[in-house]
Structure 1
Amino acid sequence: MEPGFQAIVDCMIEAGWTRGEVMRSLRRLIAADNMTHKGNAKVEAELAIARAMIRAGKAT
């Protein structure tokens, strides 16, 4: 496990979280991270298209 995640899990367990609560929270964190990556990829693709259009002289 990544050291950062391990530190988070350790703190959650010290705070009295159950294993199930920890796992649910980690799944949500991973899902949010995946959604962020997907959103960033979409924006990067849109920017690449816009830059290509500007270079081609077809900017609107």
Structure 2
Amino acid sequence: MEPGFQAIVDCMVDAGWTRGEVMRSLRRLIAADNMTQKENAKVEMQLAIARAMMRAGKAL
């Protein structure tokens, strides 16, 4: 497990969270991270298209 996730899990366990609560929270955290990565990829694609259009001398 990545050190960051391990630290989060350790804090949750120390705070008295159950295994189920920890797992649900980690799934939500991973889902949010996946969504962020998808959105970042979309933005990168749009920037690449805009750069290519500018180099080609086309208006945005």
Opposite residue 45 of structure 2, the aligned amino acid is A
Residues 50 and 59 in structure 1, CA contact (< 8 A), matched pair in contact too:
no
Map residues 7-26 of structure 1 onto 2, 5 A cutoff.
7-26=7-26
Q: Deviations over 1:18-59 (max 9, x none)?
A: 000000000000000000000000000000000000000012
Task: Report the aligned-residue RMSD.
Answer: 0.6
Q: Distance in 1 between matches of 2:10 and 2:20?
A: 14
Q: Distance in 2 between matches of 1:14 and 1:58?
A: 58
Q: Distance in 1 between matches of 2:37 and 2:59?
A: 27
> Structure 2: where are the runs of 5+ without partners?
none
Q: TM-score, normalised by structure 2?
A: 0.96
Opposite residue 47 of structure 1, the aligned amino acid is L
> Structure 1: where are the runs of 5+ without partners?
none
Deviation beyond 4 Å, 4+ runs, structure 1: none
**How many residues were matched structurally?**
60
Q: Distance in 2 between matches of 1:28 and 1:18?
A: 16
